[in-house]
């Protein structure tokens, strides 16, 4: 009897900006990029700003230390949160749009979702989905950790120059893809030479 392997055929880099670092943190923006881990090639992208009040209205919280941290960030990053000229979606609408993006990229069973640690990007998003009573659009078995990958060759991340605005969720995704692809390549090279 042959065992069928479940095929996972697309990677999604997820990055969120929040007003805290706990699982019930208010979200200010969601960015995601479909990518090829072997080549760094970028596919579909997703970005939306989230109305902060819609988060606090349903019980998500703002942490004073994180708010103070934001005040120390570059002006473009701070303005990204406060700029009302770009529509800020209600959290439930933003989460539904992200769910649609996952479906467009292959759906729940076909996407590997990359985030910074098991409990930050993926964890906060999962908790937000639960809060608005919408099913999480990815399989928890398909979550991948950027920080774990980085630990295999942290120098690559340290030396990688940043293009765009730091702490813009979409720009952060693209930057993370660049150094994750380079680290993955370095791991493959080590395996091939052994």
Could you read off the pLDDT of 55-81 as tens digits, one per residue?
999 999 999 999 999 999 999 998 888
Q: Which residue has the tokens 């409990």?
A: 119
82-115 pLDDT, tens digit each: 887 889 999 999 999 999 999 999 999 999 999 9
Instruction: Give bridge partners of residue 111 from the DSSP assignment.
Output: 10
Whole-model pTM?
Answer: 0.92
Q: Binning pLDDT at 50, 70 and 90, where does residue 118 land?
A: confident
Determine the pLDDT at residue 153. 96
Q: Binning pLDDT at 50, 70 and 90, where does residue 3 land?
A: very low
Strands of the chain (E only): list them. 10-18, 27-35, 42-50, 88-89, 111-115, 143-145
């Amino acid at each position: 009897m042959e065992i069928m392997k479940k095929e996972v055929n697309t990677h999604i880099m997820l990055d969120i900006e929040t007003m805290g670092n706990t699982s019930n943190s208010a979200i200010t923006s969601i960015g995601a990029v479909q990518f090829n881990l072997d080549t760094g090639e970028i596919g579909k992208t997703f970005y939306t700003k989230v109305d902060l009040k819609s988060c606090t209205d349903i019980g998500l919280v703002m942490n004073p230390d994180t708010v103070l941290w934001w005040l120390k960030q570059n002006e473009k990053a701070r303005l990204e949160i406060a700029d009302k000229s770009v529509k800020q979606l209600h959290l439930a609408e933003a989460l539904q749009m992200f769910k649609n993006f996952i479906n467009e990229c292959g759906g729940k069973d076909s996407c590997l979702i990359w985030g910074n640690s098991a409990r930050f990007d993926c964890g906060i998003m999962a908790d937000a989905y639960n809060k608005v009573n919408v099913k999480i659009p990815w399989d928890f078995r398909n979550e991948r950790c950027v920080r774990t990958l980085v630990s295999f060759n942290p120098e690559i991340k340290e030396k990688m120059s940043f293009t765009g605005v730091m702490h813009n969720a979409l720009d952060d995704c693209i930057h993370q893809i660049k150094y994750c692809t380079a680290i993955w390549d370095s791991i493959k090279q080590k395996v091939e030479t052994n």
